[in-house]
Amino acid sequence: MSELAPCVFVLFGATGDLTKRKLAPALYALHREKLLPESFAILAYARRDKDDATFREDMRAAVKEFAPKMPTEGKEWDSFASRLYYQKGDFDKPDGYKGLAERLTELDAERQTPCNRLFYMAIPPEQYETVIEQLGKAKLSKTTPGCGAWTRVIIEKPFGYDLDTSRHLNDTLSSFFDEDQIYRIDHYLGKETVQNILVFRFANELFEPLWNHKYIDHVQITVAEKIGVEGRGNYFDTSGIARDMLQNHAMQILSLVAMEPPVSLDANAVRDEKVKAVRAIRPISKEEVPHMTVRGQYSGYRTEEGVEPGSITETYAALKLHVDNWRWAGTPFFVRAGKALPSRVTEIAVQFKSIPQVLFNKMKRDNIRPNVLVMRIQPDEGIHLVIGAKEPGPAMNLAPVDLSFSYREAFPKAAITDAYERLLLDAIRGDASLFTRGDEVQASWALLTPILEAWREQGRDVQPYFTNTWGPERAESFLGEGRTWREP
Ligand code: BG6
Return mean pLDDT, the chain: 93
Is-cis flag, bond preceding 379, omega within 30?
yes
Residue 267 confidence (pLDDT): 92
> Within 10 A of 267 (CB to CB), how many other CB atoms are there?
18
Of 245, 307, 313, 436, the residue with max ligand 1 atoms within 8 A of its CB, to mutate for a pocket test, comes to: 245
115 with 108: CB under 8 angstroms?
yes
Q: Is 225 close to ligand 1, i.e. is its CB under 6 Å away? A: yes
Q: Is 244 close to ligand 1, i.e. is its CB under 6 Å away? A: yes
Among residues 479, 469, 224, 255, which one has the least CA distance to residue 351? 479
- The residues assigned a catalytic role are 249
Residue 475 confidence (pLDDT): 93
Tell me: the pLDDT tens digits for 99-147? Answer: 999 999 999 988 888 889 999 999 999 999 999 999 999 999 998 777 8
Among residues 199, 291, 267, which one has the least CA distance to residue 477? 291
Residue 364 confidence (pLDDT): 63
Give the H or E element holding residue 6: none
* Nearest ligand 1 atom, CA 157: 3
Torsion of Cα atoms, 237 then 239 then 243 then 246, to 10°: -10
Taking residues 73-93, report their average pLDDT: 96
Residue 413 confidence (pLDDT): 81
Q: Report the interhelical angle of 24-32 vs 52-66 (nearest 10°).
A: 90
309 with 236: CB under 8 angstroms?
no
Which pLDDT band, with edges at 50, 70 and 90, does 2 fall under?
low
* Nearest ligand 1 atom, CA 186: 3
Of 21, 161, 187, 422, the residue with max ligand 1 atoms within 8 A of its CB, to mutate for a pocket test, comes to: 187
- Please provide residue 334's backbone torsions phi and psi, each rounded to the nearest 5 degrees: -105, 125
> Within 10 A of 183 (CB to CB), how many other CB atoms are there?
25
Query: What type of residue is 25?
Result: P
Residue 362 confidence (pLDDT): 64
Taking residues 16-20, report their average pLDDT: 90
Going 457 to 235 to 100 to 78, the CA torsion angle's sign is negative
Tell me: the pLDDT tens digits for 320-376? Answer: 999 999 999 999 999 999 999 999 999 999 999 988 887 776 666 567 789 999 999
Nearest CA, atom 13, ligand 1: 188
446 contact partners, CB below 8 Å, separation of at least 6: 163, 283
Q: How far is the CA of 292 from the centre of ligand 1 (A)?
A: 24
* Nearest ligand 1 atom, CA 188: 14
